[in-house]
Amino acid sequence: MMSIYKKFLIVIIPIVLFTFFTCQDNPECSSCGGGLLDGYLFKKVTQEDLVDIGSIDGVNIGICIRYQLTGLTENDFDLDTIEIVDDCCCD
């Protein structure tokens, strides 16, 4: 009976430790702007987004952008706030 518990612990403990250490916030993302209520959002541009923001230089499918919203939906981009960023680490 004890060997079942040992096997269980041998499997579970590494999984828990791996999850704990790999799922921490990236310290480089401390200045993301606070999310929806406080500031900026981050996203990778999709084909549907190009209809609204395709006129901005450098924006293409798969590029990561930082932006603010003008309305209640995710597609209401404030065009004056869109900026191309290197990494969507704060997504």
The count of domains in the chain is 1
Instruction: Determine the pLDDT at residue 21.
Output: 58
pTM: 0.54
| Radius of gyration over every alpha carbon of the chain, rounded to an integer in angstroms | 20
Q: What confidence tens digit (pLDDT) does each residue in 23-41 have? A: 445 544 545 555 555 567 8
Kindly report the number of other CB atoms within 10 A of residue 9's CB atom.
Answer: 10
Q: Is residue 87 part of a domain?
A: yes
Range of the domain at 71: 32-91
| Domain assignment of residue 11, yes or no | no
Q: Which tens digits make up the pLDDT trace of 48-75?
A: 888 888 788 888 888 888 888 776 666 6
